[in-house]
Structure 1
Amino acid sequence: MDDLLVVGAGPYGLSIAAHAAAAGMDLRVFGRPMASWRDHMPPGMFLKSEPWASHLSDPDRRHGLDAYCASRGLPARHGVPLPVRTFAEYGLWFAERAVPAVDERSIGSVTTCPGGFRAVTEDGESLYARAVALAVGVLPFVDVPAPLRGLGPEHVSHSSHHAELTRFRDGDVTVIGAGQAALETAALLAEQGTRVRVLARAGALAWNGLPPAWERPWWQSVRAPHSGLGPGWRNWSYSELPGAFRRLPEATRSRVAKTALGPAGAWWLRDRFEPSVEVLLGHEAVGARTAGGRVRLEVRGPSGVVEPLLTDHVIAATGFRATCDRLRVLAPDLRAALLPCADGSPDVGRDFESSWPGLFLAGLVTASAFGPSMRFVHGASYTADRLVRGVRRHLRQRPLVEPVVVPAPGGPVTAAAVSGTLPR
């Protein structure tokens, strides 16, 4: 029985694995490394975060993005956007150097067993571990507006579903949303010759400003310090004090996690977007059906009047909703046992342990507990350090020979009753 099973091999999963390996744990890591970045983002996209805020985390800090870029002769400078493809390649480089061998199979299910957890791979192999860290990224939490959910993937998709956009080159596409994913997807579509429009409920698009210079007068730094989430004291507190954020009242945490750092486009995208993309502000899709092989959207405008809009395909760049019920990798009884926050996301303790002992969570799913930084790569450093501390504490408090009652068919079974019988 391993000490730790890490499910997911994105920035959070790889960072957790690096810290766990350095702590001497017996662990296994499952998932296609950097899958979201390699398989779900079209060529031509850039990181919105600054390169210095996009490091994966290892305890010795020897495998940062800056070290990778220096080894390849690539720029990693403040105020210079970094291609997503470069970041994905950095993640693979990090995995080779800081993480035990990653098993690229996916985990199909995780359930409890005497002494810990049983996980089953996509091809049916059973694995056993005393603790599990779920770092499943954002893809399980894709959120598509209700009016669009009845249409098939040939007519409606989420922005995270596309590794490339060339299939839409000669078509007409409507992108729904007002954040970076919507605006950058629309710009890429327009640049390849697609007729594209953005449908946004907001009355105006928001654009981030050019970041202040890295070196500047001290009084400017005091007024608006740099942080991994952008300049300013509020962003600095979200970025640097996730532990303090967790001490806020639950209602406050849920509200901030939902509203802070709202939809906005990157400063470097604006000049590419505005001349080439039609924008319908104050518009919302309230219905959708197919008509003659196309999509007929029923769109409510600022006046309240609903009018039809015909398009070939709709891309919903409408974000993610990280709730307990969407953690489908967990067995239903284990998923149902998780205590939720006010917004439906699972509650976690100070070391990212869920309400089920030994089950640790990381990434977007913890944003309501630890704040907006958990929506960004920057949050991986804090998470990896604290989560692995929590795993070590859990292993000390619950050695395999300790009687631990876990649910089992036919009544409770203790770990002591089966100690030494589980495969290693």
Structure 2
Amino acid sequence: MRTLDVAIVGAGPYGLSLAAELDRHSLDVCVFGSAMAFWRDNMPPGTKLKSDGQSSDLPAPGAGFPISRYQTETTGTFEATRPIPVTEFYDYGLRFRDRVVPRADPRMVRDVRQAGSDFIVTLDDGSHVTARNVVIAVGVASFPHLPEPLAGLPAGYVSHSVQYGPVAALAGKRVAVVGAGASAIDVAAALHEAGADTQIITRRATIAFHHPPARRPLRHRVRRPDTGIGGGWDLWFYANFPQLFHALPEAMRLRIVANTLGAAPGWFMRERIEGRVPMRTGMTMLAVTGANGVVTFDLRDRQGAKHQIEVDHVVAATGFRPDVARLDMLDPALAAGIRTAGTAPALSRRFETSVRGLYMIGPIAAPSFGPVMRFVFGARSTTPILARHLAAQCERAKPAAALRRVGQAAYRQPGE
């Protein structure tokens, strides 16, 4: 059986970018999974990226295939600050794959397990491949978080925003969207436009929409420099120096990731929400119960007044929590050998887990490398570093593999 140098599990922005970077090192690499499937299947109609064009490139060696070239080829123009529709970003990812990714396999990975110093990767059709190294690049879809008391609702009364995609199944129903971030606002707008009686419930005092892009005076840019993930010296550090972030104490890293870049919908969503979808801000959920097809919220506002509302369904836009235990494609014995920081993997400076040869990149790496890993922009500081490391590892492994082959030949009997 042929052995891959690197098997990449997940064909989103990080997985595709890493495959493109590894191509320059002449390794035997394959990226597995339906390309850009999260952006195709898990985004409500009308969604746009919060990051603008200049922050949404998929990195690749040399000239690569930046989104500016894609937009110029498809529309004739490129506007660096124009919000990018998710449908456009999905198509860009497919064209990136076709142009700069040497080998992509749309089959999904069902199981990854160790076999000596290598890994056996089982695909959804039951076939197997062997790989010396495996990189998990699966994004956030595996990690939806349901906080209490929503987690206690019976099945069928609550869903997570990551499940939408199409929202037509909730048309005509009374729906409460819990949350105040981009996911909450995106799905609430799509539900309202699909004919659902929609309202937003959040503990935050206001919905903190991003400001529209504008040319900032030099003195403002010095005080709060622009980055691919927002403005400010703290974000400048997180965006540009994830390797230094990795050197911070673990408890500090976890605290920063938990409290940086909170709920902030895109500025362009105001017109789809304000005056159209009721927003119950500053609310504390005292209790949430579901029975007889109705979800009842008991709420308290910031003035202490109590409110009770009833809806048919709840959509929880309550974020994601990376968790090694929820990576269903990992063999339980393999997952049990991964050291964690909280529930996320504790990664080396080269994105390696405590299992030699097993790496993880993308949002699951945020507790080790900072908030930038939650964004496409983080791929630019991830994939070149990991590609160089993997190339060096594979190069060092060649003499050992050759010696094993020589040894095996020496012990063959004549005539074998």
TM over 0.5: yes
Q: Which 5+ residue runs of structure 2 have no aligned equivalent?
A: 410-416
Please state how far the C-alpha of 1:5 moved relative to its aligned partner: 0.2
Cα separation, 2, equivalents of 1:117 and 1:386? 22
Please name the residue that 2:413 is paired with.
Answer: none
Please state how far the C-alpha of 1:380 moved relative to its aligned partner: 1.0
Which of these residues, 75, 81, 85, is aligned with residue 83 of structure 2?
81
For residue 369 of structure 1, what is the amino acid of its counterpart? S
Please state how far the C-alpha of 1:295 moved relative to its aligned partner: 2.4
For residue 45 of structure 1, what is the amino acid of its counterpart? T
Cα separation, 2, equivalents of 1:71 and 1:17? 23
1:72 aligned counterpart, secondary structure? helix
Please state how far the C-alpha of 1:395 moved relative to its aligned partner: 2.0
Q: 1:41–1:162: 8 Å Cα contact kept in structure 2?
A: yes
Please name the residue that 2:211 is paired with.
Answer: 209
Please name the residue that 1:371 is paired with.
Answer: 370
2:133 aligned counterpart, secondary structure? strand
Q: State the Cα deviation string for residues 343-367 of structure 1 (Å, max 9, x = none).
A: 3210111111111111110001100
Structure 2 counterparts to residues 238-387 of structure 1, below 5 A:
238-285=238-285, 287-302=287-302, 308-341=308-341, 343-387=342-386
Cα separation, 2, equivalents of 1:395 and 1:271? 52
Cα separation, 1, equivalents of 2:228 and 2:377? 6
Closer, same or farther: CA 31–418 of 1 in aligned 2, 3 Å: farther
Cα separation, 1, equivalents of 2:305 and 2:225? 45
Q: 2:208–2:265: 8 Å Cα contact kept in structure 1?
A: yes
Please state how far the C-alpha of 1:200 moved relative to its aligned partner: 0.8
For residue 207 of structure 2, what is the amino acid of its counterpart? L
For residue 80 of structure 1, what is the amino acid of its counterpart? R
For residue 171 of structure 1, what is the amino acid of its counterpart? K
Cα separation, 2, equivalents of 1:236 and 1:267? 21
For residue 370 of structure 1, what is the amino acid of its counterpart? F
Closer, same or farther: CA 373–192 of 1 in aligned 2, 3 Å: same
Q: State the Cα deviation string for residues 357-381 of structure 1 (Å, max 9, x = none).
A: 1111000110011111100000111
Relative to the length of structure 2, the TM-score reads: 0.91
Q: 2:164–2:187: 8 Å Cα contact kept in structure 1?
A: no
Which of these residues, 107, 110, 135, is aligned with residue 109 of structure 2?
107
Please name the residue that 1:411 is paired with.
Answer: none
Q: 1:14–1:99: 8 Å Cα contact kept in structure 2?
A: yes
- Identity over aligned pairs, percent: 37
Please name the residue that 2:94 is paired with.
Answer: 92
Please name the residue that 1:408 is paired with.
Answer: none
Please state how far the C-alpha of 1:210 moved relative to its aligned partner: 2.3
Please state how far the C-alpha of 1:207 moved relative to its aligned partner: 2.2
Closer, same or farther: CA 230–76 of 1 in aligned 2, 3 Å: farther
Please state how far the C-alpha of 1:265 moved relative to its aligned partner: 1.7
For residue 225 of structure 1, what is the amino acid of its counterpart? P
Relative to the length of structure 1, the TM-score reads: 0.89
Cα separation, 2, equivalents of 1:164 and 1:192? 10
Q: 1:289–1:296: 8 Å Cα contact kept in structure 2?
A: yes
Q: State the Cα deviation string for residues 226-254 of structure 1 (Å, max 9, x = none).
A: 21002222222211111111111111111
Cα separation, 1, equivalents of 2:173 and 2:327? 35
Cα separation, 2, equivalents of 1:344 and 1:400? 37
Tell me whether 1:51 sits opposite 2:53 in the alignment.
Answer: yes
Q: Which 5+ residue runs of structure 1 have no aligned equivalent?
A: 404-413, 420-424
Please state how far the C-alpha of 1:336 moved relative to its aligned partner: 1.2
Closer, same or farther: CA 302–416 of 1 in aligned 2, 3 Å: farther
Cα separation, 2, equivalents of 1:286 and 1:315? 18
The alignment yields a C-alpha RMSD, in angstroms, of 2.5
Cα separation, 2, equivalents of 1:417 and 1:111? 26
Cα separation, 1, equivalents of 2:63 and 2:267? 30
Closer, same or farther: CA 211–312 of 1 in aligned 2, 3 Å: same
Deviates more, 1:220-229 or 1:174-183: 220-229
Cα separation, 2, equivalents of 1:417 and 1:310? 73
Please name the residue that 1:188 is paired with.
Answer: 190
1:157 aligned counterpart, secondary structure? strand
Closer, same or farther: CA 294–117 of 1 in aligned 2, 3 Å: same
Closer, same or farther: CA 417–373 of 1 in aligned 2, 3 Å: farther
Cα separation, 2, equivalents of 1:74 and 1:37? 24
Which of these residues, 61, 65, 68, is aligned with residue 67 of structure 2?
65
Please state how far the C-alpha of 1:158 moved relative to its aligned partner: 0.9
Cα separation, 2, equivalents of 1:88 and 1:237? 29
